Amino acid sequence: MSQFTLYADVRKGRRPSFIEAAPPGEARPLVDAFAAALRRLGLPVETGVFGAHMDVELVNDGPVTIWLDSAELRGTAED
């Protein structure tokens, strides 16, 4: 989970923007709580050093779901 960003804006350009993501001091406890919740469900969770640059290696096996709020992309989402 450490290399995975939990919040990104994809409405403009070809790359996600993380400008509205929580600052590190606020984000770290949220990531720790999320990892702890997954562990309580019995899921194996590996974490690294929060905010550190890390090289990771993975093998994708199966589909990946990326949720894009299409209403917000069109500018019609209700706030």
Active-site positions read 5
Counting DSSP H helices and E strands in the chain, the numbers are 2, 0
CA distance 36 to 67: 23
Q: How far apart are CA 76 and CA 79, in angstroms?
A: 9
